[in-house]
Chain A
Amino acid sequence: MNEEAGTPNNGLSDSDCEELLAGRHADLPVGAMLRALQGPIADRLPGEAAAMAAFRANAAGALPLARPGRRSARVVAAGVGATVVLLGGVAAAASGTVRHDLGNIIGVHEHHSPPKHAGTPLVTASPTPGAPGSLTPAATPSATSPTGHGKAHAGHGKGNGVGETAQPSHPAHPGHPAHPTQAASPTHKAHPTHPATPTRKAHPTRKAHPSQAATPTHRPNPGHSAPSTHPTKKASPSRAAGSGHPPAPQSS
């Protein structure tokens, strides 16, 4: 290799380069220069006092980040905490129960007083069975949860939106209004062009049964045309039951 990109090699072969880098050929100008690089830069070492001070400070614990493992310990602790919370949420969602005190903590609890925003008939359970054109919020899971995973008690006006399912121990309360936060959910408003059809009216003589509302095998009424007209709504068992719709015959 005599030429490289137009640069003469000045007689330095590859082997010369290797030997130069190995510290030989000190007789060559380049070798002398490379050897000079290994000499002292000064007779004193700047920064020694600062380095020793840092070392003493670290030994005394004055450098908080110097402690090995502190940061990783915090990360591990945060990870464990997050895992516990996550597993708790998953377990609650899987079991379908959220303790009431926990519900109170997270702000989802039973309301026995009429909500302020319950005036709209589209989101309020019919206080009087048989009121036409009323839709209960429990009828639509998407109404109680932004994620659409939440279920609600049929006719109970309760739903925490975090996977709570209907509980048979809470009977349906036909006169109980919906939770205001559920009723006012911006993601689920009554479709202005979707008036209540006769099939969505609460049955005048029937009350929604919680077990029907919670039955996951309950299929939507095929004659229910609402899901096809509203893109965010899906047919769900709780909708039919919560709205007082006659439940489908159960196989049992």
Chain B
Amino acid sequence: MSTAEFAELVRLAQQGDEVAFNALFRETQPVVLKYLVTVSGTSMAEDIASETWVSVVRDLSRFEGDEQAAFRAWVLSIARRRWIDEVRRRTRRPESLVDVLPDVTAATDDVDSAADRSAGTRWALEILAALPPDQAEILALRVIADLDVHTTAKLVGKSPGAVRVTAHRALRRLAQQLGGDPTNPGVTNPAPPTIDS
């Protein structure tokens, strides 16, 4: 989606166009969910995502920007605030990721392929979530949300240098865990990533 198309989508959604808003939601919600699964665990992810979108709907008219990355960063900043609020409320961090992951058994034309891809994503999310929280969050923002260093730094309230260092540490830790083979049984989750390239 080009910048102009996305800007038009945002403009229509701000004017109340339901189809445009739905398109924005479908573009952004997977990123929001994966980010929230990484930082908060799946037991909270969907609830926080719902609260996030209510806030997005409320404040959509105030959003200024025409780039998809800017919109994604804005939505993720809201999701992060909702997550922090929820953590303060619960004052605990959920441990399990597997129990409440979204159901992938819905009927589609290519159930196996979708399930395989989802399984690979879930496998990767579990590994990511096993990292220290700050490393997991920054890596999620850099990789899942595809945000640059400065946007990530602004979102998490760190300096760009700190974001770089944290991301590198996270990658090295991942390399240490995964070794030479991502399907190594010694890895946290042995589920193989079956990804359509």
Which A residues have a C-beta under 8 Å from some C-beta of B?
A: 4, 7-12, 14, 16-17, 20-21, 26, 28-30, 32-48, 50-52, 54-56, 58-59, 63, 65-66, 68
Contact = CB atoms under 8 A, between A and B. Distances in A.
Contacts of B101: 41-42
Contacts of A11: 175
B104 A30 contact: no
Contacts of A37: 34, 121, 124-125, 128, 140, 143-144
Interface in B45-90: 46, 49-50, 53-54, 56-58, 61-62
A44 B115 CA distance: 11
Contact of A33 (B34, B118, B182): B182
Nearest to B53: A51
A7 B173 contact: yes
Given A7-B176, A21-B171, A48-B25, A58 B58 contact: yes
Nearest to A43: B114
Given A17-B171, A43-B106, A68-B62, A54 B193 contact: no
Given A55-B21, A63-B54, 6 more contacts: A29-B175, A33-B127, A36-B195, A38-B144, A43-B118, A47-B53
Count chain A CB atoms within 10 A of each CB in B21, B54, B122 and give the residue with the most: B54
**Considering the complex of A and B, which 8 residue pairs feature the smallest CB-CB distances, nearest first?**
A36-B124, A10-B175, A42-B102, A51-B53, A29-B178, A43-B114, A39-B121, A29-B182
Count chain A CB atoms within 10 A of each CB in B26, B37, B106, B176 and give the residue with the most: B176
Contact of A51 (B25, B115, B128, B142): B25
B167 interface: yes
A34 B143 contact: yes
Given A9-B172, A41-B122, A30 B58 contact: no
Q: What band does the interface of chain B fall in when counting residues whose beta carbon is under 8 Å from A?
A: 35 or more
Contacts of B118: 39-43
B142 to A, nearest CB: 5
8 contacts: A4-B169, A7-B172, A17-B171, A26-B197, A41-B30, A41-B34, A42-B101, A50-B53
Contacts of A10: 172, 175-176, 179
A51 B54 CA distance: 6
A21 B148 CA distance: 10
Contacts of A14: 168
Given A10-B175, A41-B33, A47 B50 contact: yes
Nearest to A64: B58
Nearest to A63: B58
Nearest to B26: A45
A9 to B, nearest CB: 5
